[in-house]
Structure 1
Amino acid sequence: MAGIEVSSAGLDDGCGNPVTPEDLEWADLVPVMEQAHRNKLSRRFKPHLKNARVIVLGVPDDYEFMDPTLVQILQAKVPQFLRR
């Protein structure tokens, strides 16, 4: 989407691109797929979430990175949370 900058990062140990405090301080919006992700994010990074709005999309974390079905789900769910 024009005018939107995004980054992707993971919470699990050993993921290819782990979330960092700097990622969260940069973000205005942090969509997570499941409530468990929000809980883990808050436990690990609460001080860095002051300026970010964390939303739970309610999508099971059963997809591979960039799975076409997941991309479609995200394209349908995320735009309603974007501020223009």
Structure 2
Amino acid sequence: MPKLSEDRIADVLALLDSRLSYRQIAKRTGLSIGSISNIRAQYRPDIENLPAGRPPVLSPADVRHAQRLICSSKADTATKATSILRNI
């Protein structure tokens, strides 16, 4: 496999510094996710990983509000709390 040019590596590093995901960088550059991971490991080992997984549906304020509804007996079940939260 041919070595990557310094320009391509610089492009990947710039995209990594802008906090794009590996998938987004791969789509923009045409490189594999493994190549991007190797570049990051070699040139930017101190960069924090992006949070993995799906973002939460409820904000912390919504979770707290649902807890208050259930604890204050305004909602008996999670289903009732959900319907109240949707109507806010």
TM (normalized to structure 1)?
0.29
TM (normalized to structure 2)?
0.28
Name the structure where strand makes up a greater proportion of residues: 1
Report which of the two structures shows the higher radius of gyration computed on alpha carbons. Answer: 2
Q: Which protein has greater RCO, CA pairs closer than 8 Å, 6+ apart? A: 1
Name the structure where helix makes up a greater proportion of residues: 2
